[in-house]
């Protein structure tokens, strides 16, 4: 009997801590739940074992199988690197199901979380599914080389999204015989030159990548991608070296210095001068 009271107090304390955590750190709780949520119920597509899908999403799985080889090839060619782990893509049958795995962004169409690439129904209903898949596969290739922690901490958010868009654009081919400026709309150039987007190149908060409605802020992605194209076109050989260093685990700032001999701020100034001069 004398042990019952301490046990009751201990249980009560644990319950209070759990409730307090859920109230004060809801994102952390969602992250933990997402990490350990099982994907065992996803079915493996017989025609392509890289694709896993919830039963109602078989049609989407078949659509994906039609171009997955091409998307994977584009990523490997653009980055001059191979996936170090087998590609696995999980197709959710509903946005609600997707949101249980991708806890930060309620309306995005695709994401890599905890080492798994998820696509929502929206990936097949809005925009180019192939382009989106190529974007997400770029994230996944980095993950297979670096792991979750090193990828998130060693590569800044703007470059993670910028390089994924660079690859989705077609890599170096996108600006072949063209200037970055030619591919940039007036709205995009003005938005960048206004300085209102400067925060994008220094934030590490993934929530800055989405709008208040939970959808991707494509202007930020687009500007970041054009900056990556600018960096590439200024010295393609060193760009290849930069990617090689990053995939080997070298932190972004050090890799940039070793390849280009410059930091992000210096390259941003060059980009600003380039756009200002051409205006």
Give yes or no for residue 26 having a pLDDT over 50: no
Q: Which helix (H) or strand (E) holds 88?
A: none
Q: Which CATH superfamily, name and number, covers 38-146?
A: Collagenase ColT, N-terminal domain (3.40.30.160)
Q: 20-29, 51-60, 69-78, 237-246: lowest mean pLDDT where?
A: 20-29
Residue with tokens 């969602």: 30
Query: How far is the C-alpha of 139 from the C-alpha of 133, rounded, in Å?
Result: 10
Span 8-31, average pLDDT: 52
**For position 31, what pLDDT does the model report?**
52
What is the percent of the chain where pLDDT is above 70? 85
| DSSP per-residue string spanning 161-221 | HHHHHHHHTTGGGGGTTS-GGGGS-HHHHHHHHTTTTGGGGT---GGGGB-TTSSB-HHHH
Span 189-193, average pLDDT: 95
Q: Hey, what are 266's tokens?
A: 């210096």
Span 240-252, average pLDDT: 98
Give yes or no for residue 6 having a pLDDT over 80: no
pTM for this predicted structure: 0.86
Q: How many CB atoms lie within 10 A of CB 129?
A: 21
**Residue 253, CA distances (Å) to 225, 229, 245, 250 in order:** 18, 18, 11, 8
**For position 51, what pLDDT does the model report?**
98
- The phi-psi region of residue 261 (left if phi > 0; otherwise alpha if psi is between -120 and 50; otherwise beta) is left
**For position 29, what pLDDT does the model report?**
46
Span 187-197, average pLDDT: 95
Residue ranges of the domains in the chain? 38-146, 155-279
**Nearest residue to 215 (alpha-carbon basis) of 118, 128, 104:** 104
Across the chain, mean pLDDT equals 88
At 98-126, the pLDDT tens digits run 999 987 666 789 999 888 999 999 999 87
Q: Name the pLDDT band for 206 (thresholds 50, 70, 90).
A: confident
């Amino acid at each position: 009997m004398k042990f019952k009271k301490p046990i009751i107090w201990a249980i009560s304390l644990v319950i209070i801590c759990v409730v307090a955590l859920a109230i004060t750190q809801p994102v952390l709780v969602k992250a933990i739940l997402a990490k350990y949520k099982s994907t065992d119920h996803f079915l493996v597509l017989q025609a392509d074992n890289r694709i896993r899908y919830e039963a109602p999403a078989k049609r989407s799985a078949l659509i994906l199988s039609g171009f997955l080889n091409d998307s994977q090839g584009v990523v490997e060619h653009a980055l001059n690197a191979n996936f170090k782990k087998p590609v696995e893509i999980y197709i959710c049958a509903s946005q609600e199901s997707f949101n249980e795995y991708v806890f930060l962004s309620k309306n995005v169409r695709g994401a890599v979380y905890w080492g798994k690439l998820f696509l929502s129904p929206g990936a097949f209903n809005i925009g180019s599914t192939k382009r989106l898949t190529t974007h997400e596969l770029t994230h996944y290739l980095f993950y297979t080389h670096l792991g979750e922690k090193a990828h998130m901490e060693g590569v800044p958010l703007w470059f993670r999204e910028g390089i994924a868009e660079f690859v989705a654009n077609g890599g170096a081919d996108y600006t072949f015989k063209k200037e970055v400026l030619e591919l940039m709309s007036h709205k995009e150039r003005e938005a960048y030159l206004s300085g209102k987007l400067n925060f994008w190149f220094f934030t590490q908060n993934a929530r800055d990548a989405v709008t208040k409605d939970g959808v991707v802020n494509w202007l930020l992605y687009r500007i970041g991608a054009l900056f990556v194209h600018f960096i590439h076109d200024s010295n393609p050989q060193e760009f290849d070296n930069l990617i090689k260093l990053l995939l080997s685990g070298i932190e972004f700032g050090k890799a940039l210095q070793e390849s280009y001999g410059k930091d992000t701020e210096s390259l941003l100034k060059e980009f600003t001068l380039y756009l200002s001069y051409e205006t």
